[in-house]
Amino acid sequence: MSCVPAPAHPASNVVALPGFDPFSATLHNVMAREIREIREKLEALAEVLVCDEHFASSYLEQLQTFDYVIQHADECANLLDRIASGEDSLTAIGHVRLGAVQDRLRTALSGG
């Protein structure tokens, strides 16, 4: 996959060609950063909730969901970064450490 950096304000004469999108790498990188920002906010919220001993003991299972969502966000951001840097989709998916996420991604690419 070949991508070129996109200008801050795309020129009106820049268009995507079939099989080539000049903005793809930039968009993938930006979305990865956005997902990481979401992860950071979730981590901060989880830390506040865990500090409340009563809440933490009463909602332990729900708090574990925060951990999964944080890991999921990290894996999605890392996947976007790998694709933006030119790694092919199947190889990039192979690096996803959450098995269920990797399975869903493979199923999506196989048309399932």
Q: Looking at 7-11, 58-62, 76-80, 95-99, which range is the least confident one? A: 7-11
pTM of the model: 0.78
- Is the pLDDT at 43 greater than 50? The verdict is yes
Q: In the chain, where are the structural domains located? A: 34-109
Residue 111 pLDDT exceeds 60: yes
Q: What is the DSSP string of 20-69?
A: B-TTHHHHHHHHHHHHHHHHHHHHHHHHHHHHSHHHHHHTHHHHHHHHHH
